C-alpha cells in the first residue's frame, strides 16, 4: 500500500520499498549487510517481492535473465544499422522506444507479472548494451555464459573476458548499492506513469530518459577528469582552491540528501582501493584521497558514491560511456519495485502547484 502525503513544500509517497535515512534499507534490510551476503539478482528479487529468494527462485531468475540475454535477430539487425554517432545511452532509449514495433516482440513485453519479466529485462538491456558496445569497437556480439551472474556476464559480453573473483564481487556490490535510492526524479516518473495507467515498457522509457540525462550521470563521468587534471597528490590543495575561487563545482562531492556523507561511499571506496592495489594503481587512490581531504578542508563537503564508483568502474575496464547505461541496469530493480507498488494502489494523484506570478491583470484597451 502506498499513499501520497502532501506537507509544507513537499510531496512524499509512503512506500515499503526502501528507506534512505537514517539508514539505507531495502525492504528492511541494511544495504551494508546485503552487499556482503547476496548477489545483485537476489537483491533485485528482494526489492520487487519484499523477501529474499530461495535457491530455487534464484535458479529460476538466473535462467530467465540468461534467456533475456539472447537477443532476437531483429534486435541484432537494428543494432547494426544504428548510426555510429549514436551514444550507448541513446541506443538503450531507442530500443526501449521501438521494442513494441518489432515484427516478433519479446515475450516478456507482457508485464502483468514483473516477477517473471524483470530478470528478462535485466538480461535484455545488458545484452543490448554489450552488443552495441562491441559493434562500435568492430567486434561481434557474444553469447552469455550460463554459469555467470549479471556482473560476470557484463564483463564477458562487453570485453570477452568474465569479471571474476574480488573484481566480480566489487561490481556486484556497486550494482546493489545503486539498485534503489528512494524518490529520485526518475523514480517519480515511474510512479506517475503507473498512476496514469502506463504499462511497464512505457514507464521504463520515461524513467530511463530522466536518468540518462541527469546531472548524476554527468557528474560520474566528470570525476575521472578531475583526477586527470590534478595528476599528483601534492597538487590537490591548489587545484581545489583554484576551482573554488572560480566558483566551479567539484564533481563527485556533495549530495542533495546527505549532509554528513553518503553512506554508500565508504563501501565502494574500500572495494575500489583493493582493486587498485591488485592492478598496481594505488597512486591514483592516493591522489583521490588528497582531493577528498582538500575539498573537506576548504569546502566542508564529503564525496558522494559517484566519486569512488567512477574509479572502480574504470579499474574494471568500464569506460565513461558505459556509466549511464550501467546505472540504468542497476536501478531497474528499484524502478520495478516502485512501479509494482504504485500499480497496486490505484487512484489519481494530482500534484498541487503554488502560483507566484502576477495578480490578475486586465488587457489594455485598444
Q: Cβ distance 42 to 96 under 8 Å?
A: no
Q: Answer whether residue 121 is part of any domain.
A: no
* Sign of the dihedral through C-alpha 90, 215, 308, 179: negative
Q: Does residue 10 surpass a pLDDT of 60?
A: no
Burial string for 271-292 (b: 16+ CB within 10 Å, else e) reads bbbbbbeeeebeebbebbebbb
Region 182-198 average pLDDT = 89
Q: Answer whether residue 348 is part of any domain.
A: no
User: In which band, very low, low, confident or very high, does the pLDDT at 340 lie, cut at 50, 70 and 90?
Assistant: very high
Cell of 252: 563527485
Query: 261: domain CATH number?
Result: 1.10.230.10
Region 316-331 average pLDDT = 92
Region 16-32 average pLDDT = 90
Region 89-111 average pLDDT = 80
Nearest 5°: CA angle at 23, between 19 and 25? Answer: 45
- Dmax over Cα atoms in the chain, in whole Å? 79
Contacts of 47 (CB under 8 A, 6+ apart): 17, 18, 26, 27, 179, 180, 333, 334, 336, 337
Structural domains counted in the chain: 1
User: In which band, very low, low, confident or very high, does the pLDDT at 8 lie, cut at 50, 70 and 90?
Assistant: very low
| pLDDT for 100 | 77
User: In which band, very low, low, confident or very high, does the pLDDT at 11 lie, cut at 50, 70 and 90?
Assistant: low
Q: Does residue 24 surpass a pLDDT of 60?
A: yes
Q: Does residue 121 surpass a pLDDT of 60?
A: yes
Q: Does residue 1 surpass a pLDDT of 50?
A: no
Q: Answer whether residue 267 is part of any domain.
A: yes
User: In which band, very low, low, confident or very high, does the pLDDT at 134 lie, cut at 50, 70 and 90?
Assistant: very high
Instruction: Give the residue with greater pLDDT, 31 vs 3.
Output: 31
Region 19-41 average pLDDT = 91
Instruction: Quote the domain boundaries for residue 311.
Output: 216-315
Q: Cβ distance 149 to 64 under 8 Å?
A: no
Residues 292-318 have pLDDT tens digits of: 999 999 998 988 899 999 999 999 989
Q: Answer whether residue 138 is part of any domain.
A: no
User: In which band, very low, low, confident or very high, does the pLDDT at 102 lie, cut at 50, 70 and 90?
Assistant: confident
| pLDDT for 3 | 53
Residues 219-260 have pLDDT tens digits of: 788 888 999 999 999 999 999 999 999 999 888 887 666 556
Residues 146-182 have pLDDT tens digits of: 999 999 999 999 999 888 888 899 999 999 999 998 8
Q: Answer whether residue 239 is part of any domain.
A: yes
Q: Answer whether residue 329 is part of any domain.
A: no
Q: Does residue 4 surpass a pLDDT of 60?
A: no
Q: Angle, to 10 degrees, between the axis of helix 263-278 and the axis of helix 165-177?
A: 160
Region 26-41 average pLDDT = 94
| pLDDT for 220 | 80
Q: Does residue 72 surpass a pLDDT of 70?
A: yes
Region 29-58 average pLDDT = 95
Q: Is the pTM of this model over 0.85?
A: yes
CA–CA distances in Å: residue 48 to residues 18, 41, 283, 333, 347: 11, 11, 41, 7, 21
- Provide the percentage of residues in the chain whose pLDDT is more than 70: 92
Region 45-49 average pLDDT = 97
Q: Answer whether residue 330 is part of any domain.
A: no
User: In which band, very low, low, confident or very high, does the pLDDT at 138 lie, cut at 50, 70 and 90?
Assistant: very high
Q: Answer whether residue 31 is part of any domain.
A: no
For the chain, the three-class secondary structure string (H helix, E strand, C coil) is: CCEEEEECCEEEEECCCEECCCCCEECCEEHHHHHHHCCHHHHHHHHHHCCCCCHHHHHHHHHHHHHHCCCCHHHHHHHHHCCCCCCHHHHHHHHHHHHHHCCCCCHHHCCCCHHHHHHHHHHHHHHHHHHHHHHHCCCCCCCCCCCCCHHHHHHHHHHCCCCCHHHHHHHHHHHHHCCCCCCCHHHHHHHHHHHCCCCHHHHHHHHHHHHHCCHHHHHHHHHHHHHHHHCCHHHHHHHHHHHHHCCCCCCCECCCCCCCCCHHHHHHHHHHHHHHHHCCCHHHHHHHHHHHHHHHHHHCCCECCHHHHHHHHHHCCCCHHHHHHHHHHHHHHHHHHHHHHHHCCCCCCCCCCCCCCCCCCCCCCC
Amino acid at each position: 500500500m502506498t499513499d501520497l502525503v502532501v506537507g509544507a513544500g513537499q510531496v512524499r509517497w509512503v512506500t515499503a520499498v526502501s528507506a534512505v535515512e537514517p539508514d539505507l534499507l531495502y525492504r528492511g534490510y541494511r544495504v551494508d549487510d546485503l552487499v556482503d551476503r547476496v548477489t545483485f539478482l537476489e537483491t533485485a528479487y528482494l526489492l520487487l517481492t519484499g523477501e529474499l529468494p530461495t535457491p530455487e527462485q534464484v535458479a529460476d531468475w538466473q535462467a530467465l535473465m540468461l534467456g533475456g540475454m539472447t537477443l532476437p535477430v531483429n534486435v541484432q539487425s537494428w543494432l547494426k544499422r544504428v548510426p555510429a554517432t549514436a551514444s550507448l545511452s541513446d541506443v538503450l532509449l531507442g530500443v526501449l522506444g521501438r521494442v513494441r514495433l518489432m515484427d516478433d516482440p519479446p515475450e516478456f513485453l507482457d508485464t502483468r507479472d514483473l516477477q517473471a519479466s524483470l530478470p528478462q529485462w535485466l538480461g535484455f538491456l545488458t545484452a543490448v548494451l554489450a552488443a552495441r558496445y562491441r559493434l562500435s569497437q568492430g567486434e561481434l556480439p557474444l553469447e552469455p555464459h550460463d554459469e555467470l551472474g549479471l556482473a560476470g556476464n557484463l564483463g564477458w559480453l562487453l570485453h570477452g573476458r568474465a569479471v571474476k573473483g574480488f573484481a566480480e564481487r566489487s561490481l556486484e556490490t556497486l550494482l546493489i548499492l545503486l539498485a534503489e535510492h528512494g524518490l529520485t526524479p526518475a523514480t517519480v516518473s515511474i510512479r506517475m506513469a503507473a498512476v496514469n495507467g502506463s504499462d511497464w515498457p512505457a514507464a521504463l522509457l520515461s524513467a530511463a530518459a530522466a536518468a540518462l540525462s541527469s546531472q548524476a550521470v554527468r557528474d560520474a563521468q566528470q570525476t575521472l577528469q578531475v583526477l586527470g587534471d590534478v595528476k599528483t597528490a601534492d597538487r590537490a590543495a591548489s587545484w581545489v582552491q583554484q576551482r573554488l575561487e572560480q566558483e566551479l563545482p567539484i564533481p563527485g562531492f556533495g549530495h542533495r540528501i546527505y549532509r554528513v556523507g553518503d553512506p554508500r561511499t565508504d563501501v565502494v571506496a574500500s572495494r575500489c582501493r583493493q582493486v587498485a592495489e591488485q592492478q598496481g594503481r594505488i597512486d591514483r587512490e592516493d591522489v583521490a584521497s588528497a582531493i577528498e581531504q582538500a575539498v573537506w578542508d576548504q569546502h566542508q563537503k564529503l564525496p558522494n558514491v559517484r566519486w569512488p564508483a567512477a574509479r572502480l568502474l574504470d579499474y574494471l575496464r568500464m569506460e565513461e560511456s558505459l556509466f549511464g547505461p550501467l546505472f540504468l541496469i542497476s536501478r531497474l530493480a528499484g524502478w520495478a519495485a516502485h512501479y509494482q507498488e504504485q500499480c497496486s494502489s490505484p487512484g489519481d494523484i494530482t500534484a498541487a502547484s503554488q502560483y507566484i506570478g502576477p495578480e490578475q491583470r486586465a488587457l489594455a484597451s485598444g
